[in-house]
Amino acid sequence: MNIQQSAIKIRFAVKFVQAMKRLNKRRGMTMSMSTRYRATRAAACASMASAVGPQRAWSRAVLRKTKRRRFQAISKKRRLINPRREKLQEEDLRGLVPGGKGMEYCSLLSETAHYIKCLQAQIQVMSDILNHHSSSLN
Amino acid sequence: MSSRRSRSGSSRITEDQINDLVSRLQQLLPEMHNRRSDKKSATKVLQETCNYIRSLHREVDELSERLSELLENADTTQADLIRSLLMH
């Protein structure tokens, strides 16, 4: 694991745990299970994007959503042409990567790679937190 | 727009860039389906990448659900948690 990856994991872990604490404090108000689950997932994804910061297009896209800022419509109507055969799969991918719809094909591919690595890191940390709790409760 | 046969300098560079990025994505796919010696078509790589991202999203969903249940009962000690994660 390189240093950058470890740093991101730690930043993610800290932010995520902080967010869960805040969530926990809201326990006074009755929260349905589905609300709590959605809030947990939103906290996880926002924390990862925050840990990455504004250096990547996908994380900027997530942060824009979280901060509820009005998203500026893409004023330049650039034609994001991909004359290749994999047009269908490209569109599918655009729907899966945050901010994917406004990117050029090259950027989409590059952002996807970074996004996948961050998802893997996020999953690893969330599993670790879960396991840590399971073992400490037994 | 057949860029494959295009002779223009700029589209040639972009095509190589794209092929490079696609092969990097292939490297990220789970080992089971990825025999690194074989080069897959861009269509196949993108398709498998989409499936992989969907499965990662499902994992995050599952973990979020389990963690949100945990929240109801446990009291997270932040310092202990970070310490145990660093010792990994």
Its ipTM equals 0.77
Q: Any idea how long chain B is?
A: 88
Q: Any idea how long chain A is?
A: 138
Say whether B42 and A133 touch across the interface (CB within 8 A): no
User: With contacts defined as CB-CB under 8 Å, which chain A residues touch B78?
Assistant: 14, 17-18, 21
Q: Which of B66, B22, B75, B67 is nearest to B48 (CA)?
A: B22
What percentage of residues in chain A have a pLDDT greater than 90? 57
User: With contacts defined as CB-CB under 8 Å, which chain A residues touch B68?
Assistant: 33, 36-37, 39-40
DSSP secondary structure letters along A7-50: HHHHHHHHHHHHHHHHHHHGGGS---HHHHHHHHHHHHHHHHHH
Q: What is the pLDDT of residue A73?
A: 47
Distance in Å, alpha carbon of A70 to nearest chain B alpha carbon: 25
Q: What is the pTM of this model?
A: 0.77
| d(C-alpha A110, C-alpha A103), whole Å | 10
Is the pLDDT at A89 greater than 70? The verdict is yes
Radius of gyration of chain B (CA): 21
User: With contacts defined as CB-CB under 8 Å, which chain A residues touch B13?
Assistant: none
Q: Which residue of B has its CA nearest to A81?
A: B1
